Chains A and B, each alone.
Chain A
Amino acid sequence: MLFHEIYGCYYNAVAEILHQAVNGDLTEKGMQKIVSEKAFSESFLTVVPSLKDEKWQLLKKDLSTPIKHEPSMPLTDLQKRWLKAISLDPRVKLFDADFSFLDGVEPLFTSDDYFVFDKYNDGDDFENENYINVFRTLMFAMRNKKKTKIGYHGAKGTFRIFVGDPYKMEYSEKDDKFRVLIRSCRNGPMLRVDGIESVTIIGDAFADNTREVLESTEHITLELLDHRNALERVMLHFAHFKKEAEKIGGERYRIKIFYDSSDETELVIRVLSFGPFVEVTEPQNFRNLIIERLERQKNIQNKEL
């Protein structure tokens, strides 16, 4: 069973509280802090009184505990089976991970049990030795706050050297590709990992450790007519964006989608895929991008006639 209290955040919070109690470090303030960090926003209303009032008989009034050892729990079969399943994934080679402790464990699933039917066909080669080396060096640099020198092949075949501090790996499930986010890089904040020929650690990262966050600063507004299940399709399709939706009457809806400006072309294509079910109402420059493609299409059709 996956939905089980042993995986719940109340159990996690209580384990941490008992951990401190066993070591004699527990205070009432500390208990509140643990609950607010490990559980939900209203959990303190239940967890703290339940322990203090001895409903859960694990803690005494003086915050001492009859528990003698720091709480721990072995892995469940579900957790082992999941780990075994991911150990069989080709992407796992990117990580220097040893799963030999799972010998004899049945995987929860294998590649025969699922199929991603619309992933692009030119994903990164996760089993390529150079790719693995580059990935691991970037991860090392991130973990240890190092500055790197990167030899990079751009999309148009140009080769350049960049110096910067890697701070995040972004993975796209659709593209099946990694990109690395780099601070202080002249080429903008993001490089394709499969474009990186070499990466070398050249020193410590800049003292400024603030991470540039990719913010969705642009937005488009769509109007949608809910026919042929368009509403559900559109809302699910754009579910990963920050968005707001409202009903504007009958079967018409207005949806505001926030996106990063570097994804504009992709968003144009995605809006086009919904055909006449959605109309971009603003901003005008985005609407013009749709109009431009439709005009080109109309011209082609007129030529055919």
Chain B
Amino acid sequence: MAYTELIKNFERIRDYMREFYVYGFKSRDEYDKKSGRSYDNERRRIESYLAEYMGFRQSEKGKNVFLSIDSRSVSHNPLYSVLKSKSFTDGDITLHFILFDILHSPEVALSLSNITAKIDSEYLSSFSEPIVFDESTVRKKLKEYVELGLVQCRKEGKKVFYSRNADTDISNLCDVISFFSEAGLCGVVGSFLLDKFSSIEDCFSFKHHYITHALESEILYKVFDAISQKRTLTVTNTSRRTQNDRIEEIVPLKVLISVQNGRRYLAAYSISYKYYKVYRLDYLSDIVMGEVYSAFDEKREKFSLMQKNMWGVVCDERRPLEHIEFTVHIGKDEEHIYRRLLREKRCGTVERIDERTCRFSADVYDSSELNPWIRTFIGRIENIEYSNKLYENRFNMDLQDMYRLYGLGGENNALSRDLRLLL
């Protein structure tokens, strides 16, 4: 098929965008899942959408393409543009503008036959080879617009009259939409709204801003839609390790968001496995809404209780809670360390033992989830204890590896770093 700039299916380009943006070191030959031509087309499209952010590097294996964006320097997420690339037919776009011209104000209410006749006589007849829209095509388009909330239909006897929904003045909402299109969820919808403004003065910038979530917008929208209706979802979950797809029926309960590691998750009750599970949003695809789930409130309440013992996203109620505690030394003029513990803890307690020491402790589903946070206190950790000794050993061995990496020795009897990191 000939190359077109627009796309019908978002899934394929989503994978490439992620590869180019998050990784950006693969050459053409390393995209083994797809054909060479598919790679060339997707790369060309992404270049067309995001030319100013594309970079190229020549490596031994060929040319590497990457997307490099300092999200602090942009006021609007450039990746949203990909969600404005849906393809359409010549008839779709022609009909769209003619329909809204015929239904130019909410007071205009016309029957299907009337609209179809006007399209022909008032709009298309002056073209040399006019497109012919039959009533069925026009009805289908109007039905689609009714579902989108653009048009309403009213029955009078046997006749159906169509009119546009009332226009809304959002001209005084530019700042608030501008802010939430980045800082809010499903922000691309805000970006669609901003497209209605003739000009926007950028007042905001964003730090610690993970723009890659734009690629999960459709998934997130469907998840929220299902949650609001308390319905089940059938999802395809792709395993990161095996790349195998698994279809599961789930009850979506809550979206879990990290603003520190760039990941978003869906917490759900798996009907297929009969326990609570957390899914990476970027690994989900082919979402289909199911039936209303009668025990939705009960499952969500239970999950909310479980959250008290969740540091991150592990919520496996089949395993016992693990205890973890560590003490931190607070030097002279280092009160900010104590404040950091209070500010950054997500569950558990912080106790002030004395002027120079404080202790953090918690009972959680998976104590290894705390490791990255605990490591940020390296240089001050006086003592650390896990009830899960495997994790305690791993933490201590990792520390020994760090000493070795930076030329500070480390225990001699330790396994090599490369071997142990595999554990």
Residues of A within 8 A of B (CB): 1-12, 14-15, 18, 40-43, 45-46, 50, 54-58, 60, 66-69, 71-80, 82-83, 85-86, 89, 91-92, 95, 97-98, 101, 106-109, 112-122, 139, 142-143, 168-175, 181, 213-216, 225, 227-233, 235-237, 239-247, 253, 258, 260, 269-270, 272-277, 279, 287, 290-298, 300, 304
Contacts and interface: CB of A to CB of B under 8 A. Distances in A.
Interface in B236-261: 240, 254-261
A232 to B, nearest CB: 7
A55 B90 contact: yes
Contact of A168 (B186, B204, B228, B382): B204
Given A9-B84, A117-B257, A304-B383, A91 B183 contact: yes
Given A68-B104, A295-B408, A244 B24 contact: yes
A55 B88 CA distance: 12
Interface in B76-100: 81, 83-88, 90, 92-94, 96-98, 100
13 contacts: A6-B150, A74-B164, A82-B189, A97-B176, A98-B172, A113-B227, A119-B259, A225-B418, A239-B22, A243-B68, A244-B66, A294-B408, A298-B403
Contacts of B185: 85, 109, 114
Given A10-B88, A213-B73, A272-B375, 12 more contacts: A42-B44, A57-B123, A66-B122, A92-B180, A118-B260, A143-B201, A174-B207, A239-B71, A269-B376, A275-B375, A298-B408, A304-B383
Contacts of B177: 83, 86
B190 A82 contact: yes
What class of interface size applies to chain B in its complex with A? 35 or more
Contact of A67 (B85, B97, B421): B97
A241 B137 CA distance: 48
A124 to B, nearest CB: 13
Contacts of B205: 168-171, 181, 214
Given A2-B188, A214-B73, A75 B85 contact: no
A246 B65 CA distance: 11
A82 B186 contact: yes
Nearest to B106: A74
A107 B189 CA distance: 13
B93 A11 contact: yes
Contacts of B293: none
Nearest to A96: B172
A68 B101 contact: yes
A108 to B, nearest CB: 5
Contact of B375 (A98, A232, A273): A273
B275 interface: no
Nearest first, the 5 closest Cβ-Cβ pairs linking A and B are: A77-B149, A293-B379, A276-B401, A227-B421, A296-B379
A260 B208 CA distance: 12
Nearest to A247: B25
A291 to B, nearest CB: 5
A288 to B, nearest CB: 9
Contacts of B129: 54
A223 B399 CA distance: 17
Interface string B195-234: 1000001111111111110000110010011011000000
